[in-house]
Structure 1
Amino acid sequence: MKKILLVEDNAIIRFSTANFLRLNNFEVIEAENGFMALHLAKEQLPDLLLCDINLPKLDG
């Protein structure tokens, strides 16, 4: 199963996008800001990063 790191500060958008991806057989790791995304990317080594451009703390 391919692993996707989803980075989105809006909880509703993050929730709906993650659910869509999971329904299509992807493993989804979620982050709500850039710092969390960097940490998870190093730790989880995702196959793909889907990232909002404007994020709190650290932009995409």
Structure 2
Amino acid sequence: MVEDRIYMDDVFDKVIENSKEGFNKFLKECKSSGSIRDVLFDEVKVNLRHMHNVIFNSN
């Protein structure tokens, strides 16, 4: 189980890293301001992990 968590954390880190450019583009298109530094990535990881568990553990 620990290996799965480490693997998923690595996957989530890659998703978050690849999303930074998209986040800035989204803000620009919406004429909003913000900073990627204001995003609570620990919460993002928790939510992604929860979504993953719901999707793959539901019958």
Q: Which TM bucket (shorter chain)?
A: 0.3 to 0.5
Larger proportion of strand: 1
Larger proportion of helix: 2
When the two structures are superposed, what TM-score results if normalisation uses the length of structure 1?
Answer: 0.34
When the two structures are superposed, what TM-score results if normalisation uses the length of structure 2?
Answer: 0.34
Q: Which has the higher contact order (CA 8 A, sep 6+)?
A: 1
